[in-house]
Amino acid sequence: MAGSESHYSLPLPAFDKPARLLIVVAPYYRDIADDLIAGAKAVIEGCGASWDLVEVPGALELPTAIAMAERQANFDGYVALGCVIRGETTHYDTVCNDSSRGLMLLGLQGACIGNGILTVENREQAVVRAAPSGQDKGGGAAAAALHLIALSRQWSGQRKGMGFKPVDEFRLAGKTEA
């Protein structure tokens, strides 16, 4: 069982300039969501960062809300929280796959996202994974976002050339035509 295994966690990053995160939560299972939020807040605050919180109707709306915030607001990173418990239909598979895929696509576009969407077989699994005193998956998602923010800041000024010189540099080098 995963709950009894030991796992390594990276130490939280330190920031010269405080980070600002948006926690986006789907509170369909309110008690589980509240535990995920508590874990995320504790890790974010423990790192000296700040957070805002918004709620969306369900896990499928998490990527959309994060995409909107990425375009229209000024957050350094995002923590996606929610819980999907397997039911009797294939809706579970759709929600799990599409919400994760949406978050991954946003991440590949440069958004710093910690994915804390629990995908479980039953409520008992969700409770153990959500509890800050248990597996603390909310805290883990916040830590993931913070690490990605730190990497983004570390690499922010470093750009690779595109294989050609801009026209002004070409002229300054004494060349008359390209």
47 is in an annotated binding site: no
90 is in an annotated binding site: no
Structure tokens at 99: 């919400």
Mean pLDDT, contiguous 10-residue spans, the chain (178 residues): 74 95 98 98 97 98 98 98 96 97 98 98 98 97 98 84 58 60
- Per-residue pLDDT at 157: 76
Across the strands, what pairs with 112? none
- Per-residue pLDDT at 121: 97
Query: Phi-psi region for residue 21, left (φ > 0), alpha (ψ -120 to 50) or beta?
Result: beta
The SS3 call for residue 43 is helix
Domains of the chain, first to last: 18-172 (3.40.50.960)
123 is in an annotated binding site: no
What is the Cα–Cα distance from 54 to 17, expressed in whole angstroms?
23
What is the Cα–Cα distance from 135 to 128, expressed in whole angstroms?
6
28 is in an annotated binding site: yes
Q: Helices in the chain by DSSP H: which ranges?
A: 30-46, 62-72, 91-108, 123-130, 137-155, 167-172
21 is in an annotated binding site: no
Q: 91 catalytic, yes or no?
A: yes
Across the strands, what pairs with 118? 83
User: Which phi and psi angles does 81 have, rounded to 5°?
Assistant: -130, 140
85 is in an annotated binding site: yes
- Per-residue pLDDT at 176: 58
- Per-residue pLDDT at 166: 59
Which residue is catalytic, options 31, 48, 91, 104?
91
- Per-residue pLDDT at 43: 98
Q: What is the pTM of this model?
A: 0.87
